[in-house]
Each structure stands twice: as structure tokens, then as C-alpha cells.
Amino acid sequence: MRRLLAVAALTLATAAHAGRSCEEKPPTVRQIEQGLNLAQATARQLDASGAQVVVLARAGQDLSKYGLRWSHLGFVYKDATQQPAVWRVMHKLNHCGTDHAALYRQGLGEFFLDNPYRYDAAFVVLKPELQQALLPVLTDNARVAAFNERRYSMVAYAFGTKYQQSNQWVLETLAGAAAPGAVSRRAAQDWLRSQGYQPTDLHLSTLTRLGGRMTQANIAFDDHPSARRFSSHIDTVTVDSMFAWLPRANLSEPPQLVKQ
């Protein structure tokens, strides 16, 4: 157990430096145990689902004041090149609060060893034909980056291409697999509109927008339509909006909750 905790702590330090916070604050033993327990519980439910590709969410931040339960998601796929097969997470992470981000392939343990606000998770099992279309994309470094935009904003406009946030990359990559003719971000967004996807409307005051833009490099609002922005409406991609839309569009089963 001590060796497992040491490895987990080292993994977390690497992930944090490459990913979101870059805080030089070591995790507690309790945080490591909770993260690993949640990873194990998730793996058990994924195994029982019979799926090869799912969309998995975590509660990294408390977004309850916006009526949101989940903050971040990624694709999870079964890596059959390992024996026994293991679950891999492919997701997009912001670099230490800067204005850029990159894609990362991690294990379930790493995904939950990021000091989440709440230790539970949720996933949706995608329709079999969509799983089959996504699996070769997720295992290919070039193909998985086809819809990735390095420039990052936490509140990127859902139908804009100037920036991209983490959940938006998942949504657009999924659209590209579901609609093979969509070979650009704009085409993927057009398809999403045609399929009834509706982003979350965040009501952010002028003071909140100004404060965020002036103090954080990873927040920008200049990609949003002026009329919407000046009336305090910020349309962005959230986990909750995706989990509502995917079953409605007949692209997935209903969300399943994971608890330790």
C-alpha cells in the first residue's frame, strides 16, 4: 500500500505540472486513497457496462452557483493492447492557468488524482456505432488532435473557433466521428447545431467578466457575439449540457453515476 501511495503521489505531481493548477502542494494520503478508490469503482462499472468508449465526467470544481454538477470530462476507452485490457482517458488540460492547453492520455487513477471538489463521477455509454468510430481516433495521436485548438479560454464560445475549452474539444471530436463529413471545427459545430445541441447559458455580469479577463490568462470573452455578451449571456460547452443532449440525440445511454 505504501508503494502504491508513493507512485500515485509522483503521478499526481507530474499531472498537475502538465495540466491545470501547477500548485506545489502535495496531496494528502486521504486524497490519494479517495482518488484511487473512485478510479477502482469507475473501472468496475465500466467493465460491467460492456462498453469500449464512454464519456466520463468529474467534479473538479464547485460550479453549483451556475446550476452545474460536473466541471470536466474526457473520453475513456479500453486499451486492448495491454493484457489484461486497461481503461485510458483522453482529455484536454489547460497549462497552469495560461492561455493554452494540450491533450493528454492518462489512466483512471491520474484522472481522479487532481484534488477534485467532490469524489464521485458520471459517465455515458455511447451508441455502439459511435464507439466503433471513435476508438481508432482515440488511439491515434494525429487523428485525436484533428479538432484541437491550442488557444484556450475556460468560457470559450460554444460555436466559435478562436479559442477552445476542454469540454468543447470532446464535443467537437465526438461530432467529427458521428458525422464523417465534418472535417473542421466549424463543420462540427454546424452539425451540432443541426442535431439540437444547446450550450449552457452562463449569466455573468460585466463586473465578473471584466475581473476574470483582467486577472486570469485562461479566461476570454472576445469570441462571444457582442449582443449576447453585453447582455450578460455567455454560451459555453459544459458537461451538464452534453449529458442532457447526448441521450436526447440518441447518441448515448442516460448518464450513470459512480460513487465510491
- Residues 108-145 have pLDDT tens digits of 999 999 888 899 999 999 999 999 999 999 999 999 99
Report the candidate in 73, 124, 114 with the shortest Cα–Cα distance to residue 253. Answer: 124
Report the candidate in 166, 38, 167 with the shortest Cα–Cα distance to residue 107. Answer: 38
The low-confidence residues of the chain, meaning pLDDT below 50, are 1-20, 206-207, 210-214
The rounded distance, in Å, linking the Cα atoms of 236 and 171 is: 11
- Quote the pLDDT of residue 20: 45
Q: Where are the domains of the chain?
A: 2-259
The set of cell numbers assigned to 225 is: 457575439
- Quote the pLDDT of residue 229: 85
Percentage of the chain modeled with pLDDT above 90: 72
Region class of 23: left (phi > 0), else alpha (psi between -120 and 50), else beta = beta
- Quote the pLDDT of residue 24: 60
Q: How far is CA 190 from CA 38, 198, 210, 257, in A?
A: 36, 12, 30, 30
The set of cell numbers assigned to 124 is: 455515458
The rounded distance, in Å, linking the Cα atoms of 138 and 88 is: 9
